[in-house]
Chain A
Amino acid sequence: MRYLPLTPEDRTSMLRRIGAPDINALFADVPADKLLQELPDLPRRKGELEVERILSAIAARNVAAGSVPFFVGAGAYRHHVPASVDHLIQRSEFLTSYTPYQPEIAQGTLQMLFEFQTQVANLTGMEVANSSMYDGSTGCAEAVLMAHRITRRKKAVLSGGLHPHYAEVVRTLSRMAGDDVMTMAPDVLAGEDMLACIDKTVSCVVVQTPDVFGNLRDLSALAAKCHENGALLIAVFTEAVSLGLIEPPGAMGADIVVGEGQSIGNALNFGGPYVGLFATRQKYVRQMPGRLAGQTIDANFERGFVLTLSTREQHIRREKATSNICTNSGLCALAFSIHMTLLGESGLRTLARVNHANAVKLADMLARVPGVEVLNENFFNEFTIRVKGDASQLVERLAAQRILAGVPVSRLLPRAGLDDLLLIASTETNTDDDRAALVAALSSQLAH
């Protein structure tokens, strides 16, 4: 077997050296009746060529986003990732190392994480960021727990514009932890009155911008009301590129900012692996979940980096830890950081403007299609339209024509009476031809 260097002769002589008559002597603690006699009922070993053939055939049964006009978003976004990003993250020294427990031989990872933390803090307008969470949704649930620890209250209020799957992740963890959650009704037009829900019993308010329907939200009034009542404002984003163009939550008074970092440096990957971004105020850092890289010096007074403040973490604090998280999203954080370094401030601003311009162009085109109503007044690169009939069936019919038109709201919020709503995302990857194809197909479908 190509992955196993030991030869049969090695095995025999090593067993002799150990003093074991056969390999099963080393498994003597396994109850004899539980030790498998037969091999598992699974196929036998295969060469590279065969495995590649089998898995390529499975992959070919999927419609790859890049092969069709593609407007699907709702929490994961298709952007162009520079070739150098994927090359660099496949360097052995990044790919095949682990958590930097031995800092003297892990400065590459540690310095990268320190740079990543700074990038995330600056992007979100916050003071400090951790070295990543699994993804935006789990980061969001952890942010709520963190707010409960800080405020010593147990009630979270979730905006109706929060991604419904994020809300469900928060509700699941909160229910299990015995905490209270109040979820506002789906808020398609960003008209909900969250101020009225904030009182002295509320630990935190969770609000997303751009929200799941694409609306941009000014968080300043919410932040003020939260702070008057001793509550925290948790701001969520699912499209990190938007922060190149819109005011960051940190500048609007957010106490914790969490979001999905996939859209910078990472592929769609059918939902994972992604990378959760998590930032907060300096004063809350000791209540933060996750790993932190910090600057220090070595025995020669040279600058270096280590994992720090680990007394928050499970491997030291066990049941008193701020979170149970251990392995996070290191390599995805690296991809994010490299892509962000390539973009730089000027590149990110331009990328964000191109996204916004493409979405505005598409919204204007769709607004002219009979049977389509664009609902958003403002948005970044994703907006909601109302169509005549059932959006889900419409999306299926367009998929049959090899156009992936977007996410029907009923996919995220079944039985909410929002079956005629469709979320449409447009990034720099869309061409004029893509937009024309979508508009033509929609026009023809809705004309019936």
Chain B
Amino acid sequence: MLNNQGRPTGAGDSAPAYNRKTFTGNRALQTREALIFEIGRSEVSGIDIDEPEAFTPRLAALARKTPLDLPGLSEPETMRHYVRLSQKNYAIDAGLYPLGSCTMKHNPRLNEKLARLPGFADVHPLQPTSTVQGALELIEVLSGWLMELTGAHAVAMSPKAGAHGELCGMMAIKAALAARGEGSTRKVVLVPDSAHGTNPATAALIGFEVRAIPAREDGTVSAQAVREACGPDVAAIMLTNPNTCGLFEPEVVEIAAAIHEAGGYFYCDGANFNAIVGKVRPVDLGVDAMHINLHKTFSTPHGGGGPGAGPVVLSEALAPFAPAPFLRRAGADLEILTLVEEAGEGAAFGRLTAFHGQMGMFVRALSYMMSHGADGLRQASEDAVLNANYVRVGLGDVMSAPFGDRPCMHEALFDDNWLKDTGITTLDFAKAMIDEGYHPMTMYFPLVVHGAMLIEPTESESRASIDLFIMTLRDLTFSVRRGELERFSGAPYYAPLRRLDETRAARQPILRWTKPAPFVEDEAAQ
């Protein structure tokens, strides 16, 4: 029996306001955590492994003499260190994560379980192909799903993330142009101002010259502007559709026709594919190459910044130029072909990565697709679009939408016009959202809109969750109008840390831990 003698059970009659600093600097569950280099010790290890029996090393004169300086922690200390660190992170599992263009949807745990099956996780990329028929079958089945959903003729599976997929697609275009004898004359890639930064960066990386296409007043690209920019020097257009303003490009078919008439190719940035899965097939619109971010549209976890996966679907025109390795069916068996010339046709352009791509992500994506099925995938896209429009309408009267009342796709874009002359910036507004328990939306992107706020709720949110989100943002806007500056200018107040000084970090970069110099009393006295 518990002894409750003398134990108060109430909250205290007059709990005073209290902001005294604690001894540890911790605030209950919000703890400070030192670096492993400050708490670890080089002689400690969290792994028990026996020294080998005596043997004669065969290291020539190259045995390590340089210190390692790698601290170790026991297993319980390791668990505590990383659990404490994790508690300083926001995550989809913890709340709405409306980061526009990033599609922060639910990551099903079935995917994680299946990706860890030894038959997938414990298989080496260079095992004899007779021992990896299941792995090759999985890639073949996933390829089939991706081709059916996009209308493509082929898919290159090896790209490791979206930007790597862009590189793959633009290399295929370069190879196709070279095969036509126009490799040295067609150097220009048209990129709308609203594009992700990866688009121009990718084009420039492989020697293309970027020509900007301005967006129209309504946030879309006009076929007329593309036609006018086209010439014999144009290799391709890189267009995001649905675009980064959250709009489906209404003239996409005409844009495709214009670039094709001019002898160029249509690269589509597929970052926003989540809006249209099962609704429209990009290759039907005239797209020649498009990467698919499996970590966006198909639910593989974002992992704090990867790993992603960026398979690239290709039209009939570009299919012959896919990179190695290739999968080929020989009767009942599947083979991997690694030599470019073995592809048989066209002029495959080479190799993008050491092995066959992000197998671990392929398993997760296929698990997600099979779970949804064709019907669920379409429903997911419709729900993503519905949720975004619900947010757009719910906030349209208190924030400013740069393109009026036009319906959006899976993300709703606002600008900072409504903050004009309030002294509050998009950044301040975002930081105040943190105090309310939300991850902010994407800020200051796309560049074509001043002080942009791009909100992508995804299909994973319930109506109650979205309603609360809308009410919260409305409350913040009322606060702005009441002139409650301090709610924004100093925010966040309740996060593990207050606003961080990014300028200082860039001016005096400290990019690694270094041992502090020993304290010398004489110097301290000076």
Contacts and interface: CB of A to CB of B under 8 A. Distances in A.
A128 B511 contact: yes
Interface stretch (B258-266, B477-485, B492-500): B492-500
A138 B124 contact: no
A302 B83 CA distance: 20
Nearest to A133: B160
B490 interface: yes
Contacts of B305: 98-100, 109, 131, 291, 327-330
B302 A65 contact: no
B248 interface: yes
Interface string A20-51: 10010111111100111001111111111001
Contacts of A95: 91, 93, 107, 112, 301, 303-304
20 contacts: A40-B374, A47-B371, A51-B367, A59-B114, A94-B89, A103-B502, A108-B86, A108-B88, A176-B349, A177-B207, A272-B360, A302-B497, A314-B201, A318-B210, A324-B202, A331-B301, A348-B68, A350-B45, A350-B50, A377-B58
B500 A360 contact: no
A390 to B, nearest CB: 13
Contact of B40 (A26, A169, A341): A341
Q: Which 10 A-B pairs have the closest CB atoms?
A: A344-B72, A271-B355, A59-B119, A331-B303, A172-B350, A61-B134, A271-B125, A273-B307, A330-B305, A357-B52
Contact of B134 (A60, A145, A218, A244): A60
A270 B160 contact: no
Contacts of B352: 138, 169, 172
A116 to B, nearest CB: 10
A82 interface: yes
B199 to A, nearest CB: 8
Contacts of B33: 111
B450 interface: no
Contacts of B53: 357
Given A245-B63, A338-B78, A354-B50, 5 more contacts: A5-B460, A25-B407, A47-B371, A55-B138, A105-B90
A218 B79 contact: no
A6 B384 CA distance: 10
Interface size bracket, B side: 35 or more
Given A105-B90, A269-B360, A344-B71, A117 B512 contact: yes
A177 to B, nearest CB: 5
Interface stretch (A84-92, A195-203, A435-443): A84-92
B128 interface: yes
Q: Which of B250, B285, B351 has the most CB of A within 10 A?
A: B351
Nearest to A1: B376
A348 B51 CA distance: 11
B62 A43 contact: no
Given A44-B373, A314-B197, A342-B46, A115 B504 contact: no
B37 A361 contact: no
Contacts of B120: 59, 62, 269-270
Interface string B36-75: 1100111111110111110111111111111011111101
A66 interface: yes
Nearest to A402: B131
Given A41-B148, A44-B373, A104-B434, A117 B304 contact: no
A294 B376 contact: no
Most buried by A among B53, B141, B307: B307
Contacts of B445: 315
B423 interface: no
Interface in B60-119: 60-66, 68-73, 75, 78-79, 81-83, 85-94, 97, 99, 102, 104, 106-108, 110, 112-114, 116-119
Contacts of B487: none
Contacts of B79: 84, 88
Given A15-B386, A76-B355, A245 B64 contact: yes
Contact of B160 (A20, A40, A273, A338): A273
B304 A171 contact: no
A325 interface: yes
Contact of B126 (A59, A72, A114, A302): A72
Contacts of A399: 127-128, 130-131
B521 interface: no
Candidate in B37, B301, B366 with the most chain A CB atoms within 10 angstroms: B301
A56 B132 contact: no
Given A20-B407, A294-B506, A56 B201 contact: no
A48 B197 contact: no
A247 B122 contact: no
Contacts of B375: 39, 44-45
B462 A5 contact: yes
B439 interface: yes
A327 B125 contact: no
A433 interface: no
B328 interface: no
Select the residue from A14, A35, A117 with max chain B CB neighbours within 10 A: A14
B215 to A, nearest CB: 15
A344 B374 contact: no
Contacts of B335: none
Given A102-B439, A414-B338, A356 B59 contact: yes
Contacts, number: 723
B186 interface: no
Contacts of A163: 354
B510 interface: yes
A327 B163 contact: yes
B104 A327 contact: no
Contact of B114 (A3, A55, A97): A55
Given A1-B376, A66-B122, A106-B90, A317 B201 contact: yes
B94 A136 contact: no
B279 to A, nearest CB: 6
A295 B512 CA distance: 8
Contact of B374 (A41, A88, A137, A318): A41
B516 interface: no
Contacts of B230: none
B453 interface: no
Contacts of A112: 82, 85, 304
B123 interface: yes
Interface stretch (B12-20, B166-174, B414-422): B166-174
B380 interface: yes
B161 interface: yes
A342 B380 contact: no
A251 interface: yes
Contact of B284 (A34, A171, A306): A34
Contacts of A331: 301, 303-304, 306-307
B371 A267 contact: no
A72 to B, nearest CB: 4
B81 A64 contact: no
B502 A296 contact: yes
A103 B306 contact: no
A66 B205 CA distance: 41
B278 A51 contact: no
Given A176-B207, A354-B52, A341 B78 contact: yes
Contacts of B512: 114, 117-118, 121, 127-129
Contacts of B354: 75, 135-137, 163, 165-166, 169, 260, 271
A93 B94 contact: yes
Interface string A305-345: 11011110111111111011111111110100010111111
A263 to B, nearest CB: 12
Contacts of A45: 371-373, 375-376
B449 interface: no
Contacts of A273: 160, 306-307, 309, 358, 360-361
A414 B339 contact: yes
A379 interface: yes
A98 B99 contact: yes
Contact of A341 (B63, B73, B501): B73
A85 to B, nearest CB: 9
